């Protein structure tokens, strides 16, 4: 499954700047009964008529596109006088006449966005919002400067769709929004005042593990070098594996005796050559039995997998720990002789799905070395991670319906998207209400169950895109008022659960008599299926793999202070209520953390524990990465949660980890982790997916970083140089140094210091390479490098073309048309009302020859752009990087500037001219340029933008 994002785009219209720190709202329409609205998939601005409707309210009518965003309210002149991080608090209410809707908000300072948020608002309920005002760093080039003092506009949009009473038009309707309070207040700076260094971690060897401890007292068996291992030939290899592990602590190997038994899956350790006869019980699957008596230790199972579980759980009981792959991750108990207590236990795992897989490695060659994968496989084996699942779920409609096989003869099998049948996996799905389609899918499921009898479930997961079939029949299942959650990237589409689940039910009906015990699986809370169906009740044999896509990465689901996760938990529970089997389909935080330390042990533990309380919970399917410097011991925690019947004690697991993994530095390392946890918990932000950058700056201030760095330095001092403990801390320290550089980079970007930011990126790349070399599998280097590369490229572009200028509008993307007959002037291609809809798109950062036009002569560029009202009265310049050779510039239908080819180098020189008097403020502008080139490369080719002097 790949991750798809649609960057949330918001548009604002600034109405006015009052100068005074007052808040007022503009009226709904702008006086001439027209409202600017953004609509359509391309997010273009368009004019739409505003009409009066009953009760003095207004409605906007736009023709039927799927997505619309409407500006509904705006406030200007908010004064903010606070430190760098600020939160805008807002309380909103719509009245009961308005259906539930999604609203979004964008906050601007001048022409730059400094805050964005979206959420769902219900009639008659106060919706409270805290929008962090942050620098938006990275390629977006926007930043909030508190020294400038004012947020110039807060714009509220509503996203909604309903059918108008008078035909096919979509109506959006809004006036009834009231706002009780808009206040900008400084957020509490993250401080460490309430953080106290935790006490010394302790472990109690006698309660290390319940496996060997419940029959207290009585000594029964001593495990030392004098023992013998008995095992059938079929199991000899496993007996050797156990022997090799034991030798690490016993100081030598035990004698191995081969012995056949009724059940071949056993290993017996005794002090008398293994002569005792084993009792063999009935066991299957992953289960095993561990019996310790005066005579010996018996491990037995019904399968090889069960016996492997037995071996490693037995070793875990002796104190062996594997916190990360490789030797560096291994912790051994210090004993030479173990005194074991009497026990006889039949053990089975808690969840049957315990799946952690290296995502990127599977797609891209070279991300994971074979040696690294081997280490990971061994780590998985030791921690009962099953790297297979009997309930596979993946996007597979395109596999069941290959385009080549079906499309020509049966286009109706495929989804109708935007009026066309689409069969590709990028935009297409299947027509989920078509009876023939359902029959074919049912046959495909039946064939899979026949071919692989062990398979417990079959995937019925839509292709990886946000669409659903929009044919007349399918639309009956898609209530347009039931939009997909805006927190996912698929928002603006009708909720697809109803359509999808009815299809799954029908397929299940077709196969249930032949395969009564088999399941059908789908991923939910992804793409177009987020909220549960309201009409259709899912068949009991449907399995839901619930993704953690729009989940806050910093807080636990049960943390009442995290609004994002409160919503997430509600959503989870709304699926849970059906009582169907579920599992968590999660993405390790590293997807979003770009190699940063993700010491999220608290949330990792608590979230899984919370979801695991669902009756019939199957477990987890985690998309993970080879990035252990950032993740140890998150995966270990997951492994224990998936295995132990009674949820293990987090405190105890973590204390063990500090003592065993860091030895003499355990106290300092516990402090280090606790500092991290304290900071993350105190974050006023709830970052979802990729917006985590915003959180980083506020959390990891230089003061906080200094405290953590000091703690790490003391930890290093506490360890003997060259010891495993010192090595582990060195690895984590490099990862922390990377975090510090990362934050520094964000600061430089924020302050507009492009060159310094690029320097920091250079240092980061060196550090990441070093980390990768010194501790293979510590960091997913290619991924991190790729992210750094992207940021650097965006910075370089900004550095090159817009250095030091306050850019108001980026005009680098234009419509383009050649004009060989010189008709442009006569036909007024520069005109405001002229339609350039059939023109091609072109970039102004390269000559047209480089973009497919082998052409000399005259050609035209056209660009529409919006300019907020608050730029009225400022000195605005149009900057052109270079124009080859001659050009005529028009603004809003008027000729405003002529560029002649006067000097030899004119074709490669920049120029600029003032345009303030020709621009429209608070509305749209039309720029047109005709360029004439006599030979060679031609056109505007080094960028063009509007800036304020
Ligand atoms: Zn359909
Ligand atoms: Zn949160």
- Taking only the tens place, the pLDDT of each residue in 890-900 is 999 999 999 99
For residue 463, how far is its CA from the centre of ligand 1 (angstroms)?
A: 15
Residue 12 has pLDDT above 70, yes or no: no
Task: For residue 116, give the H/E element and its range.
Answer: strand 112-121
Are 233 and 277 in a shared domain?
A: yes
Q: Is the pLDDT of residue 465 over 90?
A: no
- Please tell me whether residues 825 and 881 are part of one structural domain: yes
- Quote the ligand 1 centre to 101 CA distance (angstroms): 26
Ligand 2 center from residue 630 Cα (angstroms): 20
Query: 164 CA distance to ligand 1 centroid (A)?
Result: 24
CB 69 within 8 A of CB 38: yes
Ligand number with the minimum distance to the CA of 412: 1
Q: Write out the H or E segment, with its range, that includes residue 522.
A: strand 519-524
Q: How many CB atoms lie within 10 A of CB 144?
A: 24
Distance 508 CA to ligand 1 centre (A): 19
SS3 of 203, please?
coil
Q: Please give the distance, rounded to the nearest whole angstrom, from the Cα atom of residue 555 to the centre of ligand 2.
A: 4
The yes-or-no verdict on residue 841 having pLDDT over 90 is: no
Please give the pLDDT value at position 646. Answer: 87
Convert the pLDDT of each residue in 52-96 to its tens digit. Answer: 434 334 444 443 332 333 444 444 444 443 334 455 665 555 545
pLDDT above 80: residue 112: no
Query: 724-750 vs 692-699: helix axis angle to the nearest 10?
Result: 100
d(CA 173, CA 99): 10
* Gap from CA of 439 to ligand 1 centroid (Å): 14
The pLDDT > 70 percentage for the chain reads 70
Ligand 1 centre from 42 Cα, in Å?
Answer: 24
Cβ atoms within 10 Å, residue 504:
22
Per DSSP bridges, beta strands 177-186 and 219-223 are unpaired
Cα-flanking dihedrals φ and ψ of residue 498, to 5°? Answer: -55, -50
CA of 488 to the centre of ligand 1 (A): 23
Q: What does the pLDDT read at residue 693?
A: 61
Residue 917 CA to ligand 2 centre (angstroms): 47
Residue 168 sits in the same domain as residue 215: no
Produce one character per residue of 832-863: b if its CB has 16 or more CB atoms within 10 Å, e if not.
Answer: beeebeebeebbbbebbbebebeebebbbbbb
Q: How far is the CA of 683 from the centre of ligand 2 (A)?
A: 8
Distance 430 CA to ligand 1 centre (A): 7
Pick from 322, 347, 372: which residue ends a domain?
347
Residues 290 and 338 reside in one and the same domain: yes
| CA 415–ligand 1 middle distance (angstroms) | 6
Model confidence at 126, pLDDT cuts 50, 70, 90, reads low
| 469 C-alpha to ligand 1 centroid (Å) | 5
Q: How far is CA 947 from CA 148, 253, 822, 876, in A?
A: 18, 77, 31, 6
pLDDT at position 937 is 80
Residues 6+ apart with CB under 8 A from 294: 220, 221, 342
Q: State in Å: Cα 413 to ligand 1 middle.
A: 8
The residue segments making up the domain with residue 129 are 34-186
- The burial class, CB within 10 Å (0-12 / 13-18 / 19+), for 825 is middle
Residue 840: phi, psi to the nearest 5? -90, 160
Give the whole-number percent of the chain exceeding pLDDT 90. 36
Number of domains in the chain: 3
Judgement on whether residues 157 and 264 belong to the same structural domain of the protein: no
| Ligand 2 midpoint to CA 553 (Å) | 7
Q: How far is the CA of 466 from the centre of ligand 1 (A)?
A: 15
Q: Which helix (H) or strand (E) holds 703?
A: helix 702-718
How many Å from the N-terminal Cα to the C-terminal Cα in the chain? 48
| Better-scored residue on pLDDT, 727 or 780 | 727
Average pLDDT of the segment spanning 847-871: 80
Q: Which ligand is nearest to the CA of 685?
A: 2
Answer yes or no: is 547 within a domain. no
Report for 365-374, 510-519, 862-871: range of highest mean pLDDT: 510-519
Q: Which two tokens stand for residue 484?
A: 């997909």
**Which tens digits make up the pLDDT trace of 538-552?**
999 999 999 987 788
| Residues paired with residue 439 on neighbouring β-strands, in sequence order | none
Which ligand is located closest to the Cα atom of residue 558? Answer: 2
Look at residue 151 in the predicted model and tell me its pLDDT: 52
In angstroms, what is the span from residue 535 Cα to ligand 2's centroid? Answer: 32
pLDDT at 480 over 50: yes
Q: Cα of 471 to ligand 1 centre, how many Å? A: 4
Q: Which of the ligands is closest to the CA of residue 559?
A: 2
Say what the pLDDT of residue 144 is. 46
158 Cα–ligand 1 center, Å: 28
How confident is the model at residue 183, as a pLDDT? 39
Least confident of 148-162, 316-330, 510-524, 633-647: 148-162
Whole-number Å distance, alpha carbon 491 to ligand 2 midpoint, is: 21
**Token code pair at residue 663:** 């030895």
Alpha carbon distance 825, 303 (integer Å): 83
Answer whether residue 755 is part of any domain.
no
Banded pLDDT at 116 (limits 50, 70, 90): low
The pLDDT of residue 316 is above 50: yes
- What separation in Å is there between the alpha carbon of 552 and the centre of ligand 2? 5
145 torsion bin: left (phi>0), alpha (psi -120 to 50), beta (else):
beta
Residues 305/285, Cβ–Cβ less than 8 Å: yes
**What number of CA atoms fall less than 13 Å from residue 425's CA on the CB side?**
17
- Identify whether 262 is part of a domain: yes
Among the bound ligands, name the one nearest to the CA of residue 683: 2
246 with 333, same domain: the answer is yes
What b/e sequence results for 228-258 when a residue is b if at least 16 CB atoms lie within 10 Å of its CB, and e otherwise?
Answer: bbbbbeebeebbebbbebbeebbeeebebee
* E strand intervals along 277-433: 288-292, 296-301, 321-322, 330-331, 338-341, 343-347, 353-358, 415-417, 420-422
Helix (H) or strand (E) holding 895: strand 894-899
Read off the tokens for 774: 């010194």
With vertex at residue 28, the alpha carbon angle to CA 36 and CA 23, rounded to the nearest 5 degrees, is: 110
Q: Which two tokens stand for residue 483?
A: 């939009």
C-alpha 438 – ligand 1 centre gap (Å): 11
What is the distance in A from the centroid of ligand 2 to the CA of 643?
27
Decide if 614 contacts 583 (C-beta within 8 A). Answer: no
Best mean pLDDT range from 277-291, 337-351, 723-737: 723-737
In a domain, 629, yes or no: no
Ligand 1 centre to CA of 425 (Å) is 16
pLDDT per residue over 200-254, tens digit each? 776 655 445 555 654 455 567 888 888 999 999 999 999 999 999 999 988 889 9
Helix count and strand count (H, E) for the chain: 21, 42
Residue 725 within a domain = no
Least confident of 63-72, 601-610, 718-727: 63-72
DSSP 587: E
Q: What is the mean pLDDT of residues 604-625?
A: 90
Q: Is 473 in contact with 480 (CB distance < 8 Å)? A: no
Distance from residue 551's CA to the centre of ligand 2 (Å): 8
Q: How far is the CA of 426 from the centre of ligand 2 (A)?
A: 32
Mean pLDDT over residues 902-909, rounded?
85
Question: Among candidates 498, 568, 512, which has minimal Cα distance to 540?
Answer: 512
Domain assignment of residue 869, yes or no: yes
Query: Domain end: 347, 362, 394, which one?
Result: 347
> Which of 26, 7, 18 lies closest to 151, judged by CA?
18
User: What are the residues whose beta carbons fall under 8 Å from the beta carbon of 50, sequence distance 6 or more?
Assistant: 28, 29, 33, 34, 35, 58, 59, 60
Q: What is the number of the ligand closest to the CA of 413?
A: 1
Residues 270 and 305 in one domain: yes
How close is the Cα of 358 to the center of ligand 2, in Å? 26
What is the pLDDT confidence band of residue 348, given thresholds at 50, 70 and 90?
A: very high
- The alpha carbon of 559 and the centre of ligand 2 are apart by a number of angstroms equal to 8
Measured CA to CA, the distance from residue 381 to residue 335 in angstroms comes to 23
Counting Cβ atoms within 10 Å, is residue 199 exposed (0-12), middle (13-18) or buried (19+)?
exposed
- On whether both 44 and 167 belong to a single domain, the answer is yes
Q: Which ligand has the nearest atom to the CA of 600?
A: 2
CB atoms under 10 Å from CB of 164, counted, come to 16
Rounded alpha-carbon distances, angstroms, from residue 855 to 755, 815, 827, 841, 847: 38, 16, 21, 16, 11
The rounded Å distance from CA 477 to ligand 1 centre is 10
CATH number of the domain to which 877 belongs: 2.60.120.260
Range of lowest pLDDT (482-486, 532-536, 674-678, 852-856)? 482-486
Note the ligand closest to the C-alpha atom of 603: 2
Distance 4 CA to ligand 2 centre (A): 22
Q: Residue 40 C-alpha to ligand 1 middle, in angstroms?
A: 22
Which of 347, 371, 387 terminates a domain? The answer is 347
DSSP 516: T
Ligand 2 centre to CA of 490 (Å) is 21
Higher pLDDT, 144 or 372: 372
CA–CA distance from 309 to each of 209, 223, 288, 303, 728 (Å)? 15, 20, 7, 10, 27
| CA distances (Å), origin 648, targets 84, 126, 670 | 41, 40, 19
Residue carrying structure tokens 């600029």: 912
* 281 and 165 in a common domain: no
Position 49 pLDDT exceeds 90? no
Task: Tell whether 839 is covered by a domain.
Answer: yes
What's the confidence (pLDDT) of residue 750? 60
Count the alpha carbons within 13 Å of 491 in the hemisphere toward its beta carbon.
22
Cα 427 to middle of ligand 1, angstroms: 14
Residues in the chain, overall count: 949
CA–CA distance, 419 with 422 (Å, rounded to integer): 9
Whether 251 and 337 map to the same domain: the answer is yes
Q: Which residue has the higher pLDDT, 43 or 179?
A: 179
Residue 350 CA to ligand 2 center (angstroms) comes to: 28
Measured in Å, residue 106 CA sits from the centre of ligand 2 at: 20
CA distance 451 to 443: 12
Q: How do 255-258 and 228-231 pair as beta strands?
A: parallel
Mean pLDDT of 457-470: 89
User: What does the pLDDT read at residue 2?
Assistant: 29
Q: How confident is the model at residue 362, as a pLDDT? A: 45
Residue 911, pLDDT > 60, answer: yes
Mark whether 156 and 58 lie in a shared domain.
yes
Nearest bound ligand to CA 556? 2
Least confident of 286-290, 663-667, 764-768: 663-667
Asked whether the beta carbons of 910 and 879 are under 8 A apart, the reply is yes
pLDDT computed for residue 266 by the predictor: 93
Expressed in angstroms and rounded, the spacing between residue 689 Cα and the centre of ligand 2 is: 12
- For the chain, the average pLDDT equals 77
Find the 548 Cα to ligand 2 centroid distance in Å. Answer: 13
Taking the centre of ligand 2 as the mean of its atom positions, its distance from the CA of residue 161, in whole angstroms, is: 30
- Cα(681) to centroid(ligand 2), Å: 8
Ligand 2 centroid to 820 CA: how many Å? Answer: 59
In a domain, 320, yes or no: yes
Q: What are phi and psi of 196, to 5 degrees?
A: -120, 140
Instruction: Give me Rg for the CA atoms of the chain.
Output: 32
Average pLDDT over residues 19-30: 24
Nearest ligand, measured from the Cα of 560? 2
Ligand nearest to C-alpha 474: 1
- Pair 157, 248 in one domain: no
Q: Report the C-alpha gap between 787 and 768 in whole angstroms.
A: 12
* pLDDT for the residue numbered 839: 83
Span 181-197, mean pLDDT?
45
Yes or no: say if 251 and 334 are a contact pair by the CB < 8 Å rule: no
């Amino acid at each position: 499954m790949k991750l798809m994002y649609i960057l949330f785009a918001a548009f604002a219209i600034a109405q006015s700047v009052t100068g005074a720190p007052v808040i007022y709202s503009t009226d709904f329409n702008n006086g001439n009964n027209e409202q600017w609205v953004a609509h359509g998939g391309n997010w273009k601005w368009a004019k739409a008529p505003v009409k009066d409707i009953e009760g003095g309210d207004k409605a906007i009518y736009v023709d039927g596109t799927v997505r619309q965003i409407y500006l509904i309210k705006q406030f200007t002149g908010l004064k903010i006088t606070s430190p760098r991080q600020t939160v805008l608090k807002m309380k909103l209410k719509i009245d009961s006449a308005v259906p539930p809707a999604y609203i979004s908000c964008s906050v601007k300072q001048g022409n730059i966005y400094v805050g964005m948020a979206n959420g769902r608002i219900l009639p008659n309920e106060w919706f409270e919002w805290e929008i962090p005002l942050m620098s938006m760093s990275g390629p977006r080039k926007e930043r909030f400067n508190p020294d400038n003092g004012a947020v110039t506009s807060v714009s509220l949009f509503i996203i909604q769709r309903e059918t108008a009473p008078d035909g096919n038009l979509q109506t959006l309707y809004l006036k009834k929004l009231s706002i009780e309070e808009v206040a900008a207040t400084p957020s509490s700076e993250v401080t460490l005042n309430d953080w106290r260094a935790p006490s010394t971690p302790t472990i109690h060897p006698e309660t290390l593990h319940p496996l060997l401890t419940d029959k207290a007292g009585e000594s029964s068996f001593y495990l030392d070098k004098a023992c013998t291992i008995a095992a059938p030939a079929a199991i000899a290899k496993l007996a050797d594996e156990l022997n090799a592990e034991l030798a690490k602590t016993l100081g030598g190997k035990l004698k191995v005796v081969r012995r056949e038994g009724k059940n071949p899956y056993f290993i017996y350790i005794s002090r008398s050559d293994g002569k005792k006869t084993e009792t063999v019980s009935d066991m299957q699957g992953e289960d095993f039995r561990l019996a310790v008596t005066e005579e010996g230790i018996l491990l037995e199972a019904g399968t090889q997998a069960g016996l492997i579980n037995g071996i490693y759980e037995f070793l875990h009981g002796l104190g062996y720990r594997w916190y990360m792959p490789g030797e560096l991750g291994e912790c051994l108990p210090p004993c030479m002789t173990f005194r074991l207590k009497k026990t006889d236990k039949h053990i089975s795992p808690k969840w049957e799905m315990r799946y952690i897989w290296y995502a990127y490695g599977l797609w891209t060659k070279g991300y994971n070395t074979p040696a690294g994968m081997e280490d990971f496989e061994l780590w998985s084996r030791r921690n009962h991670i099953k790297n297979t699942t009997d309930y596979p779920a993946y996007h597979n409609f395109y596999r069941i319906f290959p385009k080549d096989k079906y499309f020509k003869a049966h286009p109706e099998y495929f989804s109708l998207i935007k009026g066309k049948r689409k069969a590709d996996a990028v935009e297409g799905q299947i027509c989920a209400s078509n009876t023939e389609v359902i029959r074919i899918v049912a046959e495909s499921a039946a064939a899979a169950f026949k071919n692989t009898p062990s398979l417990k479930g079959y995937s019925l997961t839509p292709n990886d895109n946000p669409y659903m079939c929009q044919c007349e029949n399918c639309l009956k299942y898609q209530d347009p008022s039931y939009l997909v959650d805006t927190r996912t990237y698929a928002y603006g589409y009708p909720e697809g659960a109803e359509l999808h689940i009815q299809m799954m039910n029908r397929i299940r009906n077709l196969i249930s008599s032949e395969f009564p015990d088999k399941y059908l699986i789908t991923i939910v809370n992804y793409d177009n299926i987020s909220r549960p169906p309201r009409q259709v009740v899912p068949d009991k044999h449907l399995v839901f793999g619930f993704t953690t896509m729009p989940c806050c990465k910093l807080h636990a689901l049960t943390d009442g202070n995290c609004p994002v996760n409160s919503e997430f938990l509600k959503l989870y529970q709304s699926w849970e209520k059906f009582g169907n089997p579920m599992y968590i389909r999660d993405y390790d935080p590293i997807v979003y953390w770009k190699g940063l330390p993700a010491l999220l042990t608290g949330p990792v533990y608590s979230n899984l524990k919370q979801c695991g309380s669902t009756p019939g919970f199957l477990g987890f399917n985690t998309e993970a990465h080879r990035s252990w410097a950032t993740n140890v011991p998150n995966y270990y925690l997951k492994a224990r949660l998936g295995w132990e019947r009674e949820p293990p004690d987090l405190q105890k697991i973590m204390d063990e980890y500090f003592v065993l993994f860091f030895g003499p530095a355990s106290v300092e390392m516990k402090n280090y982790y606790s500092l991290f946890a304290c900071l993350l918990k105190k974050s006023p932000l709830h970052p979802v997916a990729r917006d985590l950058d915003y959180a980083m700056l506020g959390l990891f201030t230089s003061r906080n970083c200094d405290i953590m760095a000091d703690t790490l330095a003391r930890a290093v001092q506490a360890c003997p140089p060259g010891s495993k403990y010192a090595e582990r801390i060195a690895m984590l320290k490099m990862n922390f140094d990377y975090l510090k550089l990362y934050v520094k980079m964000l600061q430089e970007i924020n302050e507009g210091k492009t060159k310094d930011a690029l320097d920091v990126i250079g240092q980061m790349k060196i550090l990441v390479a070093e980390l990768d070399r010194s501790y293979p599998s510590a960091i997913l280097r290619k991924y991190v490098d790729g992210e750094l590369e992207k940021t650097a490229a965006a910075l370089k572009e900004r550095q090159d073309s817009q250095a030091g200028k306050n850019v108001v509008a980026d005009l680098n993307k234009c419509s383009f048309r050649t004009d060989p007959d010189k008709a442009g002037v006569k036909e007024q291609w520069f005109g405001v009302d002229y339609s350039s809809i059939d023109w091609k798109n072109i970039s102004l950062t390269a000559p047209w020859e480089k973009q497919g036009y082998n052409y000399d002569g005259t050609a035209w560029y056209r660009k529409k752009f919006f300019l907020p009202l608050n730029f009225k009265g400022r000195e605005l310049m149009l900057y052109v990087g270079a124009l080859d050779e001659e050009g005529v510039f028009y603004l809003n239908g008027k000729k405003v500037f002529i560029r002649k080819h006067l000097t030899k180098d004119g074709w490669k020189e920049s120029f600029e001219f003032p345009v303030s008097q020709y621009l429209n403020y608070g509305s749209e502008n039309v720029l047109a340029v005709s360029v004439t080139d006599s030979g060679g490369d031609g056109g505007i080719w080094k960028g063009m933008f509007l800036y304020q002097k």
